[in-house]
Amino acid sequence: MATNGGSVMKTRILPVSTPTASLGKFADPTTLDKWVLPVEEIPALKEAAVHLLSSSIPVAFPTETVYGLGADATRSPAVKGIYAAKGRPSDNPLIIHVSDLTMLRALLTKPNSTEPIHDKDADPIPAIYKPLIEKFWPGPLTILLPNPQPSHLAPEVTAGLPTFGARMPSSQLALSLISLCGVPLAAPSANASTKPSPTTAEHVLHDLDGRIEIILDGGPCQVGVESTVVDGLCDPPVVLRPGGISLDSIKECAGWESVVKGYKDASEIGNCAPRAPGMKYKHYSPKATVVLYESRAPKPAITGEEGSKVGIIRTKTWASFLSPTSTSASPVQTSTAYTIQQGLLASSPAAEALEISLGAEIKDIAHSLFSALRDLDARGVQLIYVEGIEDEGDIAAAVMNRLRKAASEIVG
């Protein structure tokens, strides 16, 4: 149990079993201007919203990508609560989540401004982002926007940058929670800093038990990797972090034909603040040492000493490393789409191995990657070998970006 101000903090999981159709909707899906809350109150969402507005302790909630750790983005004590709960470096900016475009437009207008934001010609959303919003929102895409001064947002959100990242999640649970709060929620992934991102409520509890009070459980996340982050305020526009929307898909939008990769720029290795979350620090890492084999690297000869235990994550081409006569299927949580094969290494019969095959489909790999790293870690392996994939197109680039940040050693 952790303490907060001298009192014991107990972490509770609040299930949200309401059917998706009853979680709210857009008044007009073509404009995304207003999210309409469900007619009947959902007790778990109501409790979480009251907590977010009255406390500085963040709340974990599911999005379509991963579970987020949310706090009122307009209050400094609340945002500081995110950094404290995660153990996150203070120069790592946060993404804010909005429920509709009306909320976003208000953030882009100076406080007490009399500018007519309902006038199309005065729309504060930069025109470069309109094609992306029309195609990808709500969804796993974050856009960088100019932060007006004075700002509506707490300064800790931007980590001193003149811009802020915003997205509109496609999770109806998340949209209703944000709308119920009436303020944008700053929400990085709900994991301890540097650890694999959480895709289930149980993952959040494992990392943050005693550090927060409420976890909203909406089931496993569908995408499995965080949002793509883009900056359209520069020329050419850049992708700062690969994620659930591919570079090729972005290039199909007007004004984005020349978009380039920007997630290997100097902010990853220098002392300046990163332009987007996930750029600068080691991330997505389990306790075990991770050895990543790039897709073109030869299949390794995995060996182990007597009594040792290794983990193996296979994707497209690796055959099993286990001795066929020693394997057994190990049960895993029902939210995962794989089984763990447990047995002895064929090359080292005295060494034990736990092996997971994520299959060849990119969506399956992305969906289960973080769970696989966590599952192997929880079973006490000292070393995890991972078969990489080609990182061109789709969300494969996001998968490999996360794996390279998780790896202690990269081969090939």
pLDDT in tens, 151-191: 999 999 998 899 999 999 999 999 999 999 999 999 999 99
Whether 321 and 339 have beta carbons less than 8 Å apart is answered as no
227 is in an annotated binding site: yes
20 is in an annotated binding site: no
350 is in an annotated binding site: no
Is there a single domain that holds both residue 217 and residue 80?
yes
284 is in an annotated binding site: yes
92 is in an annotated binding site: yes
Whether 244 and 225 have beta carbons less than 8 Å apart is answered as yes
328 is in an annotated binding site: no
- Which residues of 221-308 form beta strands (DSSP E)? 228-231, 238-241, 260-261, 289-293
Question: Where does a domain end: 238, 268, 298?
Answer: 268
Question: Where does a domain end: 268, 300, 316?
Answer: 268
Number of CB atoms found within 10 A of residue 134's CB = 13
113 is in an annotated binding site: no
Question: Which ranges of 199-318 does DSSP label H, i.e. alpha helix?
Answer: 201-208, 247-251
- Domain residues for the domain of 93 are 2-268
Is there a single domain that holds both residue 8 and residue 107?
yes
Angle between helices 172-181 and 43-54 (to 10 degrees): 50
88 is in an annotated binding site: yes
User: Can you give the CATH number for the domain in which 340 is found?
Assistant: 3.40.50.11030
Is there a single domain that holds both residue 124 and residue 30?
yes
Is 203 a domain residue? Answer: yes
List, as one string, the DSSP characters of 13-78.
EEE----GGGS-EES-TTT---EEPPSS--HHHHHHHHHHHH-SS-EEEE-SSSEEEEEETT-HHH
Is there a single domain that holds both residue 231 and residue 316?
no
pLDDT digits (tens, 9 = 90+) for 345-399: 999 888 899 999 999 898 889 889 989 999 999 899 999 999 999 987 668 888 8
* Whole-number average pLDDT of the chain: 88
273 is in an annotated binding site: no
Residue 406 has which token pair? 């998780």
Is there a single domain that holds both residue 199 and residue 345?
no
Residue 73 has which token pair? 């983005």
Is 279 a domain residue? Answer: no
pLDDT given for residue 127 in this prediction: 97
pLDDT digits (tens, 9 = 90+) for 274-304: 455 544 445 567 889 999 999 989 999 998 8
Is 275 a domain residue? Answer: no
348 is in an annotated binding site: no
Is there a single domain that holds both residue 155 and residue 191?
yes
Is there a single domain that holds both residue 263 and residue 394?
no
Is there a single domain that holds both residue 197 and residue 330?
no
Is there a single domain that holds both residue 240 and residue 310?
no
Is 283 a domain residue? Answer: no
Q: How many domains does the chain have?
A: 2
Is there a single domain that holds both residue 257 and residue 300?
no
163 is in an annotated binding site: yes
Is 280 a domain residue? Answer: no
Is there a single domain that holds both residue 296 and residue 261?
no
Distance separating alpha carbons of residues 298 and 145, to the nearest angstrom: 43
pLDDT digits (tens, 9 = 90+) for 239-272: 999 999 988 999 999 999 999 988 753 334 444 4
167 is in an annotated binding site: yes
Question: Where does a domain end: 205, 234, 268?
Answer: 268
Cα-based distances in Å from 64 to 199, 226, 246: 9, 9, 16
The CA-based angle 367-164-247, given to 5 degrees, is 45
Query: For the whole model, what pTM was predicted?
Result: 0.87
Cα-based distances in Å from 279 to 68, 233, 282, 404: 18, 18, 9, 12
Is there a single domain that holds both residue 151 and residue 243?
yes
Is 30 a domain residue? Answer: yes
User: Can you give the CATH number for the domain in which 137 is found?
Assistant: 3.90.870.10
Number of CB atoms found within 10 A of residue 225's CB = 28
